[in-house]
Each structure stands twice: as structure tokens, then as C-alpha cells.
Structure 1
Amino acid sequence: MLPRQFYSLRQKINERMPHGPAVSTVYMLHEVYAEGETPQDAGCAVSLSRFAAWLDSLDAARIIAPEHLSAQGSILLTFDDIFASACRWAIPHLRGRGLPYTVFIATGLVGKQGYFSESDLRSLAADPLCTFGAHTVHHGLLRFEAEDTVRREMRDSKDYLEALLGREVEDFAFPYGSVYACSRANIEQVQACGFRRGFSTLSRSVTASDLREPWFLPRRNINDTNLQRKGF
């Protein structure tokens, strides 16, 4: 097994090397918390005030569902895991603005403290702005799992959501999503398991070359630190 630093270097090279002109941008969020609350994971959380200010800065007309990622200048908003705080704070802001959003569900977390319940998911299923994606069952590092385990994690999460929600689930986000966390074999499984798109945590814009083989699409992380750097 190669050292983790090797994969980290590969990821940095991928993020910085030219891939062609940007076509679209995918943003990744986790927790959105109100002032006075303590987030479960501060490293992937953003305050409600910053989140709202950032939303106001986006071109609402360009925010789309995943199937429209090939539209020039389009923006996709995604939420991973998914934390109950997103349902409580972020989603009302998105609905109030009429903005599409995508939620990636690690199905083994459903009903656990701090995460969505099945009732929450059914309520979201009634929202035409919401697209559902799978995020495995147990949110593990897939690179270190056996091939049949990876296949089961992908398919079981997809099947669970489709049965619960009565919707086809076409999108998948890798847990952790880094070059270290995901092998080439893992990426190939996305298509084999019936998904149309797979999403990583490579931090850059989406290009035409990404869209030709859309199994490890990049996403830019949104948290307090990143938005503070942008002046929010």
C-alpha cells in the first residue's frame, strides 16, 4: 500500500493541472448551523448567516439539478450525509429562493441522532426542488473494502432510497471522496451499479472532459473557513 502522502500529492496535482475550460461548478456542504449552536463537525460546517450571504451571491438562474451539469456556467448545490441541521436551516432557505438542491444519503445514518429520519426523507421526496443521491450505507473508506463489499454498499444504499422514496436514484457521492479514499476500481463500480454520475471531493470546476466520463466529478467544499477567505 502506497503512503497516504502519495495520494494527497496526486490529488493536488489533479486540482491544479489544466483540464480545459470550466463548464460548471458543484458545491459540497454538510452542516448548516444557527448562531449559538455547536456543529457536530466544525470542519465541515457553515453558519446560517454565512450560508445565506453566500447563497445571495450566487446567480440563482444558474442553479440546476444534476442532469443539467453540462449547461455552461451551471451551479449544483449538494449536501452530504445528511445532517438534521440542513433540514432545519438550509433547506428552508433554498425552498424560499426556489433553488434546486441535491442530498446524498448515507443510509446507515438515517434515524441516528443528528441526522435525517425516514420521515424527514419522505417529506423531502415531496419537494420537486430536491434530488436524492446515494452515499453508501456505512460511509467507509471504499479503497480498503473488498470489491463485493463496495458493490453492496453502493447498491444497497441506492435500493433503500428508491424503495423508501419511490424515486429513481441516479447520483452517487463517494464518502470522503478523495484520491486516497477511492480507487480506480471503486470509480468503475459507479457505472456498474447503475448510477449516471459519481461525485468526489476534488476541489476544482467541472470540465467537458469530466462530463465525458462523469464517475468522479469534482466538488468545491463550502465551510466557514472557505467562506471567511472569500469575505463572507
Structure 2
Amino acid sequence: MSRLVVLMYHALYEGEREFFAIDAADRPYAVSVSAFEAQLDILARRGLPVADPAVLPRKLDREERIVLTFDDGHASTYRHVLPRLLRRDLRAAVFVTSDFIGHRPGFCGWREVREMAERGMLIGSHGRTHRFLDDLPEEAARAELRDSKATIEDHVGGVVEQASFPGGRFRPCDVEAGILEGYRVFHTSRAGAHRAGRLPEGVLLCRIAVRQGTSAGEFEALASASPGWLLRARALGGAKAAVRWALGNGRYHALYERLAGGAG
């Protein structure tokens, strides 16, 4: 059965200096340039074509098996990802946190974001401030989606119709608000894959995170939607969700940052 796998990346790095320049909490999701290139080679070798995310949510061809996504708007997306994708004639979705762009060190400026759009990358929203939507009053959460969309459209041009939820946190009301604001596709952090076929408007896409420690063998399994790997990923995701529910977003994220900082 043909499956669509959406891969979730964050920052890329080349060498120790770039790695340690990334915020400690983000390093577990930082992937080396060499590993990323090897992963693209695996997709090509396994015959797993990369789809242009701009076609979503329409029905994908059965051959279109992989969608590449990059969260946050880190400068490495422009510096390292863009040229490597263009050399292979591939496209990806770049979800930017609009308040970070041009203001936060280590992140893209609007010139870089515009160039990525002009070179064929889909630019979507990752919120305005990266606050978790389910921590906010409903109107404030809607404003995160509305304001980031308007800012990106103003700076980049074109219509923003896809969003990635910061931290993967959202409520049904946030999806409803996003649809009212004009979003058609929502990218989550839930592990999973999708059957081939037409995707509905307002679809909640599962994604599989590629991490700093993802081995070549593991990447091959997750990109191929191995049933065993997906089962383990869903079980781990369920366990994390249970801990997050018990602790609350604030304490859970603080614990994650302490553990990530210690590992870095």
C-alpha cells in the first residue's frame, strides 16, 4: 500500500561551531549536513520520490511518497538546505515563526525567506511567537495564526495556506480558527503516515521527526513507513503525551529543556 510520509526537520549544522551555536533545547533536533545529504541519497536509492508540498491537499500521485518540512526558519534552512534541495530539483515546506525572522540571531531574514519562496519552496506559518497554542486563550491563539499569516504574506507575497503547530500543541478550536483564517493544511507532530488518496481540506498531517541521533537504518525504516517502526513511534508519542498531560506544557517543556541542555 502506498503511503505518504511527511518528514519534520529543524536546524542543520556543519561542524561543531555551528552545532553549539544552536540553542541547547533545539540540538536534539539538529541534523548534520552530511547526515541530511545521506538521507536524501537513501530516498533516491529506495525510489521514494519527494512531492512538492504546494500540491497539498489535493490527491497525490501514488509515486509521490515523501514531503520534506522544516520548522522555525533557522538560518541553516537557507544556508544548507536550499542549495542541496535545488541541486536535486526538490521542494520543501519551510514553516517560519514570523517574529523570529529578521530579529532573532541564528534565524533567516525576510530576504532569505523571500528567496526561498522564489526558488520554489513553500513558506508556511509556525506561529507568530512560537507560543504553544493550547496554552493561550482561544482568541490569542487565533491571533498567532492570523498575524503570522498576514506578516508572511506581506513580506513574501502569495497566500499562506499551510501551518505547523509550534511544539505540536493545538486544540480542535485552533484548527477551526485556522480554517476560518484561510489555512487548508495543518502539520502536527503526531507520528504516523497517510494512505495514498485525496486529502481533505483542513487535514491534520502526521509527521515523523528526524533527529540528531537518527541513524541511516532508522531513517530508511521511517521513510519507508515500516509498520514496526510506526508502531513504536506511536507508542512513544502516546507516552510523551501522557507525561505532558500530567505535568502541563510549562513543566513538561522545562523538563525537556533541562534534559536537552544536559545532553548538549
Q: Quick check: 1:162 aligned with 2:153?
A: yes
1:38 maps to which of 19, 32, 39: 19
Please report how far the alpha carbon of residue 118 of structure 1 lies from its aligned counterpart in structure 2 after TM superposition. Answer: 1.3
Aligned to 1:28: 8
Q: Quick check: 1:124 aligned with 2:111?
A: no
Aligned to 1:86: 77
Please report how far the alpha carbon of residue 122 of structure 1 lies from its aligned counterpart in structure 2 after TM superposition. Answer: 2.1
Gaps of 5+ in 1: 1-20
What is the TM-score when the length of structure 1 is the normalising length?
Answer: 0.82
Aligned to 2:172: 184
Aligned to 1:150: 141
What is the TM-score when the length of structure 2 is the normalising length?
Answer: 0.73
Sort the Cα spacing of 1:93 and 1:158 in 2 relative to 1 into closer, same or farther, 3 A: same
| Contact 1:142-1:182 within 8 A present in 2 as well | yes
Paired residues for 1:1-232 under 5 Å: 23-36=3-16, 37-39=18-20, 40=22, 41-59=26-44, 62-66=49-53, 67-68=55-56, 70-71=59-60, 72=62, 73-111=64-102, 112-127=104-119, 129-177=120-168, 181-207=169-195, 211-212=199-200, 214-227=202-215, 230=218
Sort the Cα spacing of 1:88 and 1:109 in 2 relative to 1 into closer, same or farther, 3 A: same
Percent of aligned pairs with the same amino acid: 29
**What is the rounded CA distance, in whole Å, between the counterparts of 1:209 and 1:143 in structure 2?**
30
Report the count of equivalent residues.
208
| Contact 1:22-1:205 within 8 A present in 2 as well | no
* Matched letter for residue 25 of structure 1: V
* Matched letter for residue 38 of structure 1: F
State which drifts further: 104-113 or 54-63: 54-63
**Higher helix content, 1 or 2:** 2
| Contact 1:187-1:215 within 8 A present in 2 as well | no
**What is the rounded CA distance, in whole Å, between the counterparts of 1:197 and 1:231 in structure 2?**
25
Please report how far the alpha carbon of residue 143 of structure 1 lies from its aligned counterpart in structure 2 after TM superposition. Answer: 0.7
Sort the Cα spacing of 1:209 and 1:122 in 2 relative to 1 into closer, same or farther, 3 A: closer
* Matched letter for residue 65 of structure 2: S
Please report how far the alpha carbon of residue 61 of structure 1 lies from its aligned counterpart in structure 2 after TM superposition. Answer: 7.1
Sort the Cα spacing of 1:104 and 1:191 in 2 relative to 1 into closer, same or farther, 3 A: same
Sort the Cα spacing of 1:213 and 1:231 in 2 relative to 1 into closer, same or farther, 3 A: closer
- What is the alpha-carbon root mean square deviation over aligned residues? 2.2
**What is the rounded CA distance, in whole Å, between the counterparts of 1:206 and 1:192 in structure 2?**
24
